[in-house]
């Protein structure tokens, strides 16, 4: 019996010894991807960075490296997408923003729309935020004091002539005045007839395209109909695109 169990034990020990070598840590995968980038194997490195984001979670560093690998391999649209996602996680990252601007300039892509208010708030220093917080606290205290003053003022008794006027007004309208509707049937409000429609396979009649978008353009989605999504470009142009051709900057 021992002769039968001995080969099984050797096989189990062999599998157990080889198992740690097959399982790699995220740090090992990250370093291996960096080595592939150094060896100009950008497509293989992009696959490893993408798997790390999907399995281990997103980070600005991973999106930065993935964007660099995709840009070096010629995938402009996915590279812009990952730079934008990295900026969502770290808006003040100078390297992410610089690489994104270089990529847009190199491929003649229109710049992303800039929200002036958001850009200004992100560039405020810590001292400025502290001063704004202190000012907000002072304004809140002032509003509370003003509210207490108004409540205290309203609690004062009214003069006698105002009390009599309020009592006369609360007693109800004079029944001799023609304030109520006279007898007879009253007109009923018109109701709009309900219309039924069947969904079309395409949201609008097909027309010749007057403009086209390049891979990496940032657009805003308006509505979705069947397999199409109505999008709005920041220069004011709008149109319908296939939903499968779009990718969210901030994935759900």
Q: Is 228 helix (H, G, I), strand (E, B) or coil?
A: strand
Considering only residues 193 and 244, tell me which one the structure prediction assigns the higher pLDDT.
Answer: 244
For the segment 89-95, the average pLDDT, to the nearest whole number, is 86
pLDDT at 22: 47
CA distance 41 to 126: 42
Mean pLDDT across 70-78: 92
Q: Which residue has the higher pLDDT, 234 or 38?
A: 38
Compare 126 and 182 and report the one with higher pLDDT. Answer: 126
Domains delineated in the chain? 23-110 (1.25.40.10), 219-252 (no CATH)
Q: Taking residues 159-177, what's their average pLDDT? A: 59
| Cα–Cα dist 187/203, whole Å | 40
Residue 220 has pLDDT above 70, yes or no: yes
pTM value? 0.55
**What is the chain's mean pLDDT, rounded?**
75
CA–CA gap between residue 84 and residue 111 (Å, rounded): 12
Residue whose C-alpha is closest to residue 82's, from 229, 213, 247: 247
Across the range 174-197, mean pLDDT stands at 49
Mean pLDDT score, 196-224:
65
Q: Which residue has the higher pLDDT, 11 or 222?
A: 222
Once rounded to an integer, what is the mean pLDDT over residues 188-206?
A: 52
Percent with pLDDT over 70 in the chain: 61
172's CB contacts (< 8 A; 6+ apart) are none
pLDDT in tens, 28-47: 899 999 999 999 999 999 99
The residue-averaged pLDDT of 173-187 equals 47
Q: Averaged over 99-112, what is the pLDDT?
A: 85
pLDDT on residue 162? 64
H or E stretch including 221? strand 220-225
Gyration radius of the chain over CA positions? 34
Which pLDDT value is given to residue 140? 92
Nearest one of 106, 107, 103 to 86, comparing CA atoms:
103
């Amino acid at each position: 019996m021992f002769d039968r169990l001995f080969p099984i034990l050797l096989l189990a020990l062999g599998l157990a010894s080889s198992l740690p070598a097959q399982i790699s840590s995220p740090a090992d995968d990250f370093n291996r991807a960096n080595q592939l980038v150094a060896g100009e194997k950008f497509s293989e490195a992009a696959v490893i960075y993408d798997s790390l984001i999907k399995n281990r979670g997103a980070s600005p560093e991973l999106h930065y490296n993935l964007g660099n690998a995709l840009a070096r391999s010629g995938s402009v649209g996915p590279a812009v997408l990952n730079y934008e996602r990295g900026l969502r996680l770290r808006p003040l990252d100078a390297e992410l923003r610089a690489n994104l601007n270089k990529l847009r300039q190199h491929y003649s892509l229109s710049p992303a729309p800039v929200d002036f208010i958001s850009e200004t708030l992100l560039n405020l220093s810590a001292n400025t935020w502290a001063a704004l917080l202190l000012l907000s606290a002072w304004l809140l205290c002032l509003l509370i004091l003003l509210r207490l003053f108004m409540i205290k003022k309203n609690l004062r008794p009214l003069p006698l002539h105002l009390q009599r006027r309020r009592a006369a007004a609360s007693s109800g309208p004079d029944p001799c005045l023609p304030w109520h509707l006279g007898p007879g049937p009253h007109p009923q409000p018109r109701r709009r007839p309900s219309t039924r429609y069947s969904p079309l396979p395409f949201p609008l009649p097909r027309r010749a395209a007057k403009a086209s978008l390049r891979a990496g353009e940032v657009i805003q989605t308006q509505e979705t109909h069947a397999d199409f999504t109505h999008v709005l470009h920041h220069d004011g142009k709008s149109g319908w695109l296939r939903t499968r051709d779009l990718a969210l900057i901030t994935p759900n």
